[in-house]
Structure 1
């Protein structure tokens, strides 16, 4: 691969990140710059292969985080299906009007060809939405799960189309794929014994690319579907999150190749550029239609808006659909370039919209709430916390440990909150009082009323941005008690202190100190005095009415 490709991609990505845009916008610009410098997609087969691998790993990662039950929700399968059907009914007349107005590319198309083009424009970008949600740390939020579910449904529609477009049925051996779930216990056992690091990464690649993509392609089914389904197969394994994290950096690097190849499709003519810009007029319709459908399915206004904005773009799968249609002779080849430009510009529009989505919701809150249903979905119901003394936001390993310690010291006066339904259910099965809720959701704080009995809120979410957002919402509520928070890096301490956090716990530094203290207590007799107190046994907070004697050796 030409070294200049890496340099140009790095420079463009860095410049975009410096001005507050996602780096993927820079990679798209780098692709167009490379084409202008004389590079072409056909001259860089390795880049195309890396791009395909990136998309496959993305779908595999989505599968690892996907709860199939979420696809059964009416707002997911119903919203995705209804949106695509209504979009086809609106987009085709829109394209016909543009043809009548003198756009020669569209004037030459027949109705069934416009239907194909409308089908390609109806999808939203899985790559973009997942990247935005991951950057915001909101993949597990309700609106993030709804958006991902809709995208998976759209991807399935695209895969079905591309399978049918081949003009041949899958091999009879495709029926053997139904035997794969029978191998689940063996696959799970293998994952149990995979060490962290290179072995875990290789295991993920084998699952995604060999048992997933290549196996499905060998029997005449699109490899994309195979990668997605292999991820779904592993989603319930306790190490699925660890596997996803091990593949994260590799997936991100390979997706750079994907965005470069989008730009390498070619530079548009003036007519192509005009058509691409006019196609952007469809984006507000896509957003408002999603918002209307989600609110009709009884989601709150905020959930509906943020999920809709995540889907406000055109899709790489739409580009693939257009490429297949061009290869079959169903569409003129210039439409691949038109859609590539429209896709790139839709990302430029969607990036700031998603960055300031919360501001948009707050500023025009009365307008959004006007469309909210009076009867809300069970997942979006108001939350009754009761009268807890301690609230823990984020019930991962640290939150769970803090919960047990507080219950042991102060009794059943603790409530935990987490946005992941499977994690909430696990804690409930263990007898803990844990409620499902998204602490970075501004409406979450409107759905609850902090009780005067609450004295301490612990911010134990893994993402610093999430803790800061929750802290900001907490300050705007009627809560007047103390706040403690965890951090992973020293640079995260000062912003929390400035916001009034009284106690900050650095998980990495404290782990080392705690380990040394524990060893000293266990192995060094001079520490075993009447006055020595193990750090893990000290009070997390002080309460004049409920003080507990420190444990003595």
Structure 2
């Protein structure tokens, strides 16, 4: 019978991932947990079907390449440049601090210093796949947290590339000391610089033209093949020609294509394959897990998890907070980095090949990776609760961070309203916020804007707007904005983090304030009403109203008919769908 290892590995891996992914989703957990469990079930360490480990690892590498290509498509250089001051030093300091911490702990447990250093370096690097997936699942890739985390991760990957090159130089016998290290470091830096220049200079000119010719054929199959060939070709070429990671090459390829007019279509064509093969990455991680590692080295596993889940995020939190970022951003970046992944195993493999790491080191890493990857989505979603706990239990720390993160003090009485003037606080200055502020000012209503983007705040201040830089979820920020005597609070941002908590705090500080909130889905309204909102507008509800109005106009309905139907639909959405909140009933009486 012919060899069916590839087909069996794909079939078994996808089927197990589907089953366990569905089950974990039903239990309210991240599907990532299910994919890891699926890998354990098809591994050599459990009874039943056994997938081919080597094939699974190679298929998983394709998933990493396509994932990083997709990240590059969505990652704009100006976004990285905006966070360079935090991503560059932050990634370097955190990686070195975590490596040093790991080396000390492992040396204390009986390992040699050399072993501890390599192991510490391995657990200092977060997983690209996990971080990107968690950000994507929470719709935060294009937020301030997402930009910092992705920029941080790019720098960690570059740092790891240098480490992989320097390890043989530092630890191999017979190699020159400082001179050899400097030469290896310089040679690696030159290769990376040449790769970047070559990719953007040559690829930036050739790839758009190549895709234009392919697009002119009007063949979807050829375009899909072209996207895959570019992603895989540049990734493999980077590894063989420049000796850097394929993930870095794929990321650069995505950035080049992302600057062309084909970025949207390329992302659409690569998305299904990317998601499918990215699942195999988690399955392959699960296949490496050996239960004996927990039994044989429980202390080492616990110590490793302590560094990953406590030590590493603590260092990242302190760095981000010291760089004057808000508490929520510092906490989110710290939590999303509290895991390890693909580069950790690459470093461990190199260390094992050089006879530095002991045999059980790989199993310890796998056990720690599975547990940290499983917990990471849960920890990230719990960021709001952790922030509120810090506010209650460590107010001195949170107040200090809040004070440091406000580089634009509210001066010159900018938030002091005139006596007798209506005062409205608007949270967020996107398109909705801009429209609300403009209409309020045109009607002689005094708006105060709460915004987290420093550049936006500076611009608004220069134009004379009353603006507060800060997180609306913090009581101090609401107080500074004048919440206690404000007439209304408008949450113009859809599904802002901690929206219910903002509403509750505003209601406690000012029981008579009118709170107008915005959310994406009708199903979210109940939570906002329970929190104390008076009026909630939903994106999907307003779209439904607009579509209904347009259809009626097209078929010749009179303005009175349109107004009547609009009112009926509006009442159906915003009055009958959920009961009127208690505070609104009090106002009516």
Note the 1:321-470 alignment, pairs <5 A: 321-365=347-391, 366-367=393-394, 369-370=396-397, 372=400, 376-377=404-405, 391-394=425-428, 406=439, 410=443, 439=472, 445=478, 448-450=481-483, 452-461=485-494, 463=495, 467-468=499-500, 470=502
Deviation at 1:528, TM superposition (A): 6.1
Q: For this pair of structures, how many residues does the alignment match?
A: 522
Deviation at 1:60, TM superposition (A): 3.6
Q: What is the match of residue 67 of structure 2?
A: 58
Note the 1:474-513 alignment, pairs <5 A: 474-478=506-510, 480-513=512-545
Deviation at 1:38, TM superposition (A): 5.5
- What's the secondary structure of 1:457's corresponding residue? strand
CA contact (8 A) 2:17 2:34 kept: yes
Q: Distance in 2 between matches of 1:400 and 1:242?
A: 31
Match of 1:313 among 330, 339, 349: 339
**Change over 3 Å in CA distance of 1:297–1:486 after alignment to 2:** closer
Q: Distance in 1 between matches of 2:466 and 2:541?
A: 29
Mark the runs of 5 or more structure 2 residues left unpaired by the alignment. 1-6, 170-183, 571-589
Q: Distance in 2 between matches of 1:267 and 1:129?
A: 24
Residue 177 of structure 2 is aligned to residue 154 of structure 1: no
Q: What is the match of residue 102 of structure 2?
A: 91
Q: What is the match of residue 577 of structure 2?
A: none
Deviation at 1:5, TM superposition (A): 3.3
Q: What is the match of residue 527 of structure 1?
A: 558
Q: Deviations over 1:484-515 (max 9, x none)?
A: 44444443343334444444444345435424
**Change over 3 Å in CA distance of 1:112–1:25 after alignment to 2:** same
Residue 91 of structure 2 is aligned to residue 80 of structure 1: yes
Q: Distance in 2 between matches of 1:428 and 1:43?
A: 59
**Change over 3 Å in CA distance of 1:225–1:275 after alignment to 2:** same
Q: Distance in 1 between matches of 2:448 and 2:24?
A: 42
**Change over 3 Å in CA distance of 1:425–1:370 after alignment to 2:** closer
Note the 1:296-311 alignment, pairs <5 A: 296-311=322-337
Deviation at 1:397, TM superposition (A): 5.4
**Change over 3 Å in CA distance of 1:278–1:411 after alignment to 2:** same
CA contact (8 A) 1:139 1:145 kept: yes
Deviation at 1:119, TM superposition (A): 0.8
TM-score by length of 2: 0.70
Mark the runs of 5 or more structure 1 residues left unpaired by the alignment. 100-105, 540-553
Q: Distance in 2 between matches of 1:202 and 1:417?
A: 44
Q: What is the match of residue 307 of structure 2?
A: 282
Q: Distance in 2 between matches of 1:242 and 1:429?
A: 40
Residue 49 of structure 2 is aligned to residue 17 of structure 1: no
Residue 238 of structure 2 is aligned to residue 216 of structure 1: yes
Q: Distance in 1 between matches of 2:440 and 2:222?
A: 36
Superposed CA RMSD: 4.9
Q: Distance in 2 between matches of 1:82 and 1:386?
A: 42
Deviation at 1:262, TM superposition (A): 0.7
Q: Distance in 2 between matches of 1:497 and 1:38?
A: 51
Q: Distance in 2 between matches of 1:159 and 1:33?
A: 33
- What's the secondary structure of 2:515's corresponding residue? strand
Q: What is the match of residue 30 of structure 1?
A: 38
Farther-moved stretch of structure 1 (527-536 vs 25-34): 527-536
More helix by share: 2
